[in-house]
Amino acid sequence: MTVSSFRPILFAAAILCGAMATADATTGAPDHRETCRTMAASYDEVIASCSALIASDSEQGRDLAMAYAHRGDILQLKNDLTRAMADLDEAIRIDPTFATPYVTRGIVWARSGNPDRALVDYDRAIELDPGMVLAYYNRAHAWKRKGDYPRAIADFTRTLEMRPDVAAFHAARANVYEDMRDFEHAIADYSEEIRLAPTDINALLKRGGVYRDAKDFSHALADFDTMVKLAPQDPRSWRSRGLVRMMMQDLDGAIGDFTKSLEIDPQNLSAYVNRGGAYSLSNQRDRALADYDKAIKLAPTYPLSYVGRGDALRAKGDRNGARAMYRKALSLEPNFPPAMNALQKLGMKS
C-alpha cells in the first residue's frame, strides 16, 4: 500500500472525535486538540499539536489515547515506524477498548514485514468495533500478503458491503481476483471502479491489462484508446495500446504507439524493449538491435533486453552472438525462462 492509502485512518478517527474550533474562542490561541485531529494541517503541525496536547496533562482516558493514536498515525505516514509503534502501544495501554490504534498498529506491523502480528491487531479492532471498515480493508491486505486469497476476498467483500461507493475498495478486490487469474470477477470490480471514477487512468490501465491477459484484445484496445484520449501525455497510455496492437499483429500501429511513448519519456526502458520486439517481428532487425542497445544502456542488468537482442541476432543468422546474449541474460538471472527457452531453440544447453 502507498502512503496515501493509510491516510483514511486519521480521517476515520477525526470523524469519531467530532469537529472542534481551530482556535480558542476567548484567547485566539491555537487549539492543539483540533490540529492534532485534523486532516487539513501538515504532518509536522499535527505531530507538534499532539505532542503539546500530551504534554499539557489536559487530556485523560480516551482523549489522551486519541492524541497518542493520531501522532502515531502521522509518524507511520512519515515512515518513522519505531516512534509510531511506541505511540500506538501507549494509546492501547491507556484505553485497551479503543479500536483505532489497533488498526494503525496493524498497519505498522504489516509495513514492518510482520503480517501475522498485523492480523492479531486487526482481529482485535474488529472485535471491539465490528463496523470498522478500515479494519476489514487492512486485514484483507494482510491476508493477500500471506497468499490467503479466499480470506482476502471475504474481507474486501465485507468492506464493500459497508462502503460500496469507494472506488479504491473495488480496485483492491479486483487486484486479488487478478492474482487468482479470475479475470471475470477482476473485470467486474475494475468496471465498478471506473463507474465510480470514470476519469481514473489507473483503473483503465488495470482493466485493460486484465482484458489483455484474458486475450480479449478488442476490449483491451478500447480501454487503452480511452486512456490515450484522456491522458495523451501519459506514456503508459501509448505503450499499453502498443502492446495490444502487437498482440493483434498490427505491428505498424504498435511501433507508432511505442514511438509516441518514447517521445514523451525517452528513458522508458519497457518501451524500447517492446518496440524492439515489434521491429523484430516486422523483420526490421537492425532497428530492433538499436532499441535493445538503448535498453541495455538504460538498464544493464535487465535480462529481457539481452534475450530480445539475442532473438534479433539469431534472426540475422548470428547464432554465436545470439547464444552470448542468452547466456548473458542467464548470468543476470539464473534459470530465466525466456533465455532458457531461446537456448533450447538453438539446440544448446545453458
3-state secondary structure of 126: helix
Residue 315 to residue 91: CA distance in whole angstroms = 66
Residue 204 maps to a domain: no
Tell me the pLDDT tens digit for each residue of 154-196: 999 999 999 999 999 999 999 999 999 999 999 999 999 999 9
Q: Is residue 112 a part of any domain in this protein?
A: yes
Residue 30: CA atoms inside 13 Å, Cβ hemisphere, count?
Answer: 12
Question: What is the structure's pLDDT at 349?
Answer: 63
Among the candidates 69, 100, 128, a domain finishes at 128
Can you give the pLDDT at residue 43?
A: 86
In a domain, residue 349? The reply is yes
Question: Residue 79 carries which DSSP code?
Answer: T
- Residue 20 is assigned to a structural domain of this protein: yes
Q: Which of 43-47, 101-105, 147-151 has the lowest mean pLDDT?
A: 43-47
* pTM assigned to the model: 0.81
Q: Which of residues 102, 128, 154 is at a domain's end?
A: 128
Rama region for 312: left / alpha / beta (φ>0; ψ in -120 to 50; rest) = alpha
Residue 73 C-beta-side C-alpha neighbours within 13 Å: 30
State the pLDDT confidence band at 350, using cuts at 50, 70 and 90: low
Percent of the chain with pLDDT over 90: 81
Neighbours of 22 (CB within 10 A): 12
Q: CA 259, 263, 265, 266 torsion: positive or negative?
A: positive
Residue 63 lies in a domain: yes
Lowest mean per-residue pLDDT among 13-22, 126-135, 213-222: 13-22
pLDDT at residue 37 tops 70: yes
Between these two residues, 44 and 234, which has the higher pLDDT value?
234
Given 112, 128, 144, the domain boundary residue is 128
CATH number, domain at 93?
1.25.40.10
Selection from 133, 137, 104, 134 nearest residue 121 by Cα: 104
pLDDT at 203: 95
Give 204-233 pLDDT, tens digit per residue: 999 999 999 999 999 999 999 999 999 999
Statement: residue 238 has pLDDT above 60: yes
Name the residue with cell 485531529.
Answer: 37
CA distance linking residue 234 with residue 169, whole number of Å: 24
Within a domain: 30: yes
Confidence of residue 1 (pLDDT cuts 50, 70, 90): very low
pLDDT of residue 179: 96
Q: Sorting pLDDT into bands at 50, 70 and 90, what band is 257?
A: very high
Residue 42's domain spans which residues?
1-128
Give the model confidence (pLDDT) of 85-102 as tens digits.
999 999 999 999 999 999
The predicted structure's pLDDT at residue 13: 40
Structurally, the chain folds into a number of domains equal to: 2
- Residue 81 in domain: yes
**Cβ atoms of 271 and 260 closer than 8 Å:** no
Residue-level pLDDT at 36: 84
- Identity of the residue numbered 333: E
What's the mean pLDDT when you consider all of the chain?
Answer: 89
Residue at 333 is within a domain: yes
